[in-house]
Amino acid sequence: MPEVIKNRNIQIFFVFFGIVALGWTLPTLAGSSVGGISEIGYRVLAIFFGVSYAWSRTNDIWPSLLCFFLLMFSGALFVEDMLTDFLIIEVTLFLVMLFVFLKFLEEREVGQYLAAWMLKKKFLRGRPWFFLFIFFLTAFLVSSLINIFVGIYLMWGIGTSISRNLGFKPYDRFPTLLALGVSIMGALSLSTMPWSSNSMVILSLLSGSSFFNEPPDLGRFFLMTIPLGIIVIILMLLTYKILFRLDVRRLRKLGPDFINLDDCTMTSGKAVGLLSLLAFILLMLVPEFWPNIFSAPGVIQSLGYMTKIGKLLIIFVILSLIRVKRQPVFNFNQLAARGVVWGVVGVYMVAIPLANSLVSPVTGIVDFIGNSVAPLFQGLPGLITLMIIGFATVLLTNFTASIPVCLMMMPIAFKLMEGTSATQEQIAFLLIVLCSFGWITAGSSPAGMVMHANKDWLRTKEVVIYSVPILVIITAVIILYNYYVLGWVYPLISG
């Protein structure tokens, strides 16, 4: 088995290296730029396409390390800036520490308790469609607040228990749509919170980019992401009922047996985990929604000056002092060894310098978009242009990693939407969400990876058949929501 993995990585490396070699040599031999893109621009594009291919084929960290190394010699950025950029260091360190914290919440079974607490309610009995709404809402919340893998695997386990209780067999329509819906909720969770995988990097990038004079407003960000979960669940259930004719009559007979009684029991460890999760959310969000915090008294004022890393450090210190049954409740070394996914850390470490390279003036890529691509969309209504951009983003993100898709589409969207009523912040939030709509292929996202590994209950053919209409419907509705509803609400908030 190790030999197979090794050979697969070698194949991926040679394709990556071949793309880079082609992009670095052909423009030099041609001796001229095409459409305003310079030789440096072609080098950066070659690195971008090469690493995007590698990210969609392997979860190892080496493609990110190789990308970082090649960017140093591309000429787009100064090496000193790449090695000392505080934004890169902050995002990478915060992600490592976030993995440690999420692993702590997972091992304290916080997700299991939240799911059991929500699904054991008596008022859900005899209301099958309302039960499914709460079921998927639980998957969305657990995936967003704890971890996408915890949310998917936990709710898959509960869904499997429900399916067996009701007499369904693997590959029947009910368990297939149940598992697919959980995976969709997991995919959405990648952009729900400011510290979620996709949104964290893009929001950090926008905070220090030339596109924005000030950091993106998290209040307006939540107006995009929080209603998104509710909207998608409702649209998904309507599709299940009207288009797929899902029969849910057996759910009326469902008893409480599918819930593990141990999950409903509050323990000291679960209590510590729940309180630490609440503290984390408050520390992250209160300064953002309390504009006068800098005039608050004493210690409260210091929260406004604290970075995300500092807030996690406070939680870690307090957790390290707590003992449950004379045993430490939090062991950083052990949690880091079990919880940090270094391949993911590598992607986010290199995402910011890669994005800065793509929009660097020396590459000519932004000029190419303005001179050659933007004129093709002249005369089209803003909504039609945004629809084209949105569906292109969703299509691409289902065949490659989501972060590079968002990095590529962001400057294109800003340029094409110039002169429309949509603000750049509004467009950026939409792209952060849409680049999470990837689950059809295994390499598109973590949701796609784990879904296609579930061969016991899911078949790829059914996944594609059911996913395509759901993707088309929710993409169109989310774009309309962003363009019209947020286009009306954002100016009111700003005013």
Quick: pLDDT tens for 39-79: 888 898 899 889 888 887 787 889 999 999 999 888 888 77
Question: Which residue ranges of the chain lie beneath pLDDT 70?
Answer: 1-7, 29-35, 83-87, 207-214, 257, 261, 287-305, 443-444, 491-495
Q: What is the CA radius of gyration of the chain?
A: 23
**How much is the pLDDT for 32?**
56
CB 344 within 8 A of CB 197: yes
Q: Is 217 helix (H, G, I), strand (E, B) or coil?
A: coil
Task: Check residue 209 and give its pLDDT.
Answer: 57
Residue 54, H or E segment? helix 39-55
Nearest CA to 444 out of 476, 416, 467 is that of 467
* Average predicted confidence (pLDDT) for the chain: 83
**What's the pLDDT at 139?**
92
Q: Which two tokens stand for residue 37?
A: 């893109």
pLDDT for position 5: 45
Work out whether strand 327-328 and strand 323-324 pair parallel, antiparallel, or are unpaired.
Answer: antiparallel
- Percent helix, strand and coil across the chain, each to the nearest 5: 75, 0, 25
